[in-house]
Amino acid sequence: MTVAPRAGGWVIALSFLVAFLLGGIPWPGGLERFRPDWAALVLIYWSMALPHRVGIGTGWLVGLLLDVGRGALLGQHALAFASVAYLTSQTYRRIRAAPLWQQTFSILVLLLVKQILVFWISGVIGYPPKDWWYLAPALGGMACWPLLFVILRDVRRYFEVS
């Protein structure tokens, strides 16, 4: 019995790189508050699609990279991303079985968990957000999820990432 090597690790890494780059692009005016956390969305997708490859460790690493890139408290996003990866790994069968329009509500909950964890840590260290607009990126992520899901699914199938 031969086991085929895992293919497409570079595709996963490249998708996270693109997510980091998209996170740095400013949005126009009032939409800036709703800019989704692309790295969190990509993490959720890969945690659902390939839970045996992308999980808590990947979430922790992506979060640390985001902490360094944003100049945030080291470990702040890492804890939130690892928590989201854990929750996704525990519920991915239910989320994947749902139609895409229903998945968006599960994604909203996961993104709210991430935002609330980062919100809480910011408050603990003395920098609480000033208003509730801090949760708006979760709504933006929910709105972008269907398109991102279709794009990443097609990329995964085209490059046969397993």
Answer yes or no: is pLDDT of 4 > 60: no
Delimit the domains of the chain by residue range.
9-20+32-158
**Does residue 110 have a pLDDT over 60?**
yes
| Cα radius of gyration rounded to whole Å, the chain | 16
- Cα 118 from Cα 32, distance rounded (Å): 18
The class of domain 9-20+32-158 in CATH terms is: mainly alpha
Residue 133 banded pLDDT, cuts 50, 70, 90: confident
pLDDT at 80: 97
pLDDT at 5: 58
Supply the pTM of this predicted model: 0.94
76-99 pLDDT tens trace: 999 999 999 999 999 999 999 999
What local confidence, expressed as pLDDT, does residue 11 receive?
96
pLDDT at position 42, please? 98
- DSSP line for 116-149: HHHHHHHHHTT---SSGGGGHHHHHHHHHHHHHH
Contact between 121 and 73 (Cβ < 8 Å): yes
